[in-house]
Amino acid sequence: MTATPEAPHPPPPANPELPEGVEREPRWPWWFSLAGFGIALGVTLVLGALIGVVAVVLGGDLDETSPAVTIGGAVVQYVAFIGAAVGLAYLRLRPRAWHFGFRRTRFWPALGWSALAFVSFFVLSAIYAVA
């Protein structure tokens, strides 16, 4: 015969408190990612078209891709995606760097990894150019 406990173990508390100084992770709605992508895509298309119109007005030819138009479009796209993410985060609370995965790091290891990535890019580009 088995013995049964006299009283079941109590369940954990409903809302355990966080330690002092620890912030709870923000709860973003599921649709923020879709809205951010749509906003950034719309801004990129509108401002990219505006860059193209300005290039044509100034005498450029859109059949030949101008480096200025390409770089301008890329900058607009980068700013649109970053702005959409930060702007939507502001709808909930003031965004912090750690909300986006940024954290402090030690200087020398970061410099070393950056240098490795920089050199690797040129080595792989040279291999690709030869092949």
Let me know if residue 4 belongs to a domain.
no
pLDDT at residue 5 above 70?
no
pLDDT bin (cut points 50, 70, 90) of residue 107 is very high
Cα angle for residues 82, 84, 86 (degrees, 5° grid): 70
Q: How far apart are the first and last CA of the chain?
A: 77
Tell which wins on pLDDT, 94 or 12: 94
List Cβ neighbours of 89 (8 Å cut-off, separation of 6 or more). 26, 28, 32, 95, 99, 100
Handedness of CA 38, 42, 45, 51 (dihedral sign): negative
**Which stretch of 5-9, 49-53, 121-125 has the lowest confidence by average pLDDT?**
5-9
Let me know if residue 122 belongs to a domain.
no
pLDDT at residue 81 above 90?
yes
Let me know if residue 97 belongs to a domain.
no
Q: What is the mean pLDDT of residues 75-96?
A: 94
Tell which wins on pLDDT, 73 or 24: 73
Total domain count, the chain = 1
Let me know if residue 85 belongs to a domain.
yes
List Cβ neighbours of 51 (8 Å cut-off, separation of 6 or more). 69, 72, 73, 76
Q: How confident is the model at residue 40, as a pLDDT?
A: 98
Q: What is the mean pLDDT of residues 88-105?
A: 90
pLDDT bin (cut points 50, 70, 90) of residue 87 is very high
Q: What is the mean pLDDT of residues 110-121?
A: 98
Let me know if residue 10 belongs to a domain.
no
pLDDT at residue 93 above 80?
yes
Let me know if residue 124 belongs to a domain.
no
Q: How confident is the model at residue 116, as a pLDDT?
A: 98
Let me know if residue 34 belongs to a domain.
yes
Q: Which two tokens stand for residue 7?
A: 């009283």
**Which stretch of 9-18, 53-62, 97-106 has the lowest confidence by average pLDDT?**
9-18
Range of the domain at 47: 29-91
Let me know if residue 16 belongs to a domain.
no
